Amino acid sequence: MQISLIPLKNSTIQYQMIDHQAVLVMPDEGKVKVLNQVGAFIWDKIDGILSLSDLIELISTTFEIQPEQAAIDLNEFLQELKQKNMILF
């Protein structure tokens, strides 16, 4: 995935942040996804402005991991969300 891409949330998703987690609901499809602390952090930062490069930097500094590992983890997470039609690029 190109690090210059900017992810966007699917506008039909409703979500609630609860105790460092996020609950995402796609009412039209009857799908629910619960995100852990890192997933909720990423979801919160997807704003249509920050690029993947920006997100990698935020993840690596916030959670004190190497940027290379942050990039791998972010890619896997975003691919899963994309497959479930929860984000687009």
For the chain, domain boundaries = 8-84
What pLDDT band is residue 29 in, cutting at 50, 70 and 90? confident
Model pLDDT, residue 31:
86
Element (H, E) at 39: helix 37-45
* Residue 1 pLDDT greater than 80, yes or no: no
| Secondary structure percentages of the chain, helix, strand, coil, to 5 | 40, 20, 35
- Integer Cα distance of 4 and 12 in angstroms: 25
The confidence score (pLDDT) of residue 13 equals 95
pTM above 0.75, yes or no: yes
| Phi–psi pair at 76, nearest 5 degrees | -60, -45
pLDDT band per the 50, 70, 90 thresholds, residue 83: very high
CATH of domain 8-84: 1.10.10.1150
